Amino acid sequence: MKIKLNEIPEDGRQYSLNRETAELNGTLEDLISQNDYKISLDIRPLNSRDFTVNGQVSTKTHEQCSRCGQDFNFGVEKTIREILIPTQEQGRTGKYAKSASHHVTDADEEVSVTEYSKQQFDLGEFLHEAIALEVPFNPFCDDCLQPENNKAFIYDEKMGEEQKPNPFSALKGIKID
């Protein structure tokens, strides 16, 4: 879903997206499967070139527990605070790759900066990335999150040691005349 930023009015535009509106169903399908999602965003111009994106994302991703292997739905609740700036053209002598997204941390709030090009902002790609970044590297289900008897979750499995045959044992049976 691409948004033409030059069509955003001065007082901004509200976006409410969910499974029924279906604008992002295909874009988010690999992350959230058939889970519902609720996205509310407000895009406002700061000046003629820069914009703010503020809002909330609420959904669940389909994951597999990294501890027990069970399939479960991981809840994602994310607050979006983004500043959109036009892509900065790199000169002919530019040698280094740079990210299209930058992260700024304020004392109380987290704000990211994302670049857009050709007066269009790909909202679907942005939200796909925002949801994917909220999923931990090793997700685990509620059963593994709260272990029994409030004990720490530890794998205490004894690994068997493979015994290698002694290479000299074949020499025991040799008789020298």
Residue-wise pLDDT tens digits, 59-96: 999 888 887 888 888 998 999 898 888 887 766 665 55
Residue-wise pLDDT tens digits, 22-52: 888 788 888 888 888 898 999 898 888 888 8
Residue 33 buriedness (CB in 10 A; 0-12 / 13-18 / 19+): exposed
CB 24 within 8 A of CB 17: yes
